[in-house]
Structure 1
Amino acid sequence: MTASPVYVLVHPDGRAEWGDQISTAEKALGPHGIGRAFLTDDARLRIATSDCALLLREEYPANPFASAVLAHVAGIPAQVAPETRGPVALFGYDNRNEWDNTRPLSDDERALITKALSIAGCTVD
């Protein structure tokens, strides 16, 4: 893990990696554009995934690991989590950062995400 990660990237095979440059995670999301959404209405965390992951099902494999991680962090049951496909990034969001809108994850966020990765059965690089 980097000293001050701003994201965790969860791959469809269960590998997860922390990073401090969101552009690195965005490259891993694929060539079809990037969709971003808030994890919950009041969250300071955002999700990034390929814009076309749900449409290009042959190219983007199902990612139940990311679904489980996101559900745990959002505080919802994994059974009702939305489908995710391809790599998925969860990152700290700062609307005041005009360059990339990221911020380092807080210690509490990292602890919660670490627990979620463990519950989901992810391996961390």
Structure 2
Amino acid sequence: MTDSAVCIILIHPDGRAEWGTDKPTAEKAMGPYGVGRAWLTDASLGLRVSMSDCALIMPEEFPENPYAVAVLAHVAGFDPADAQPTRGPVGLWGFDPRNEWDSSRPFTTTERAVITEALAVAGCAVG
């Protein structure tokens, strides 16, 4: 994997975080029930968030993910106390509407630096 191809970071509830180049494989790790996607913020049309469609309604199967909350809040520039809850593995990825295959694009150098800082602030173990 080359750094220039990294398009997604998958954040697990236990604090493990994995950089990846294959969004469909990362989304498979989010569970068998389908994946919901949303913009990180209204102003963030280049970054999207993914997690299981059923994560919030099936707490027995999807543990809380405070690491993802902390990372997403840091990247978006707001307080984690004001963030939406997350459960199960959560992905943050670069979005390109012109990519007909999976809508992903590599992170920019700036995005990668901000995400790396957010992972450190959240206490994630990056692998």
Given the two structures, how large is their TM-score scaled by the length of structure 1?
Answer: 0.98
Match of 2:31 in 1: 30
- CA displacement 1:33-60 (0-9 Å, x = unmatched): 1000000112110001000000000000
**Residues 35-54 of structure 1 mapped to structure 2, 5 A cutoff:** 35-43=36-44, 44-54=46-56
Is the partner of 1:115 in helix, strand or coil?
helix
Shift of residue 2, structure 1, vs aligned partner: 4.1
Match of 2:9 in 1: 8
The unaligned stretches of length 5 or more in structure 2 are none
AA matched with 1:32: Y
Shift of residue 23, structure 1, vs aligned partner: 1.0
The unaligned stretches of length 5 or more in structure 1 are none
Shift of residue 111, structure 1, vs aligned partner: 0.3
- CA displacement 1:67-105 (0-9 Å, x = unmatched): 000000000101111100000000000011111000000
Match of 1:18 in 2: 19
AA matched with 1:36: R
Given the two structures, how large is their TM-score scaled by the length of structure 2?
Answer: 0.96
AA matched with 2:81: Q
Shift of residue 15, structure 1, vs aligned partner: 0.1
**Residues 1-125 of structure 1 mapped to structure 2, 5 A cutoff:** 2-3=2-3, 4-43=5-44, 44-125=46-127
CA distance in 2, matches of 1:39, 1:67: 11
- RMSD (Å) for aligned C-alpha atoms: 0.9
Q: Percent identity?
A: 59
AA matched with 2:52: S
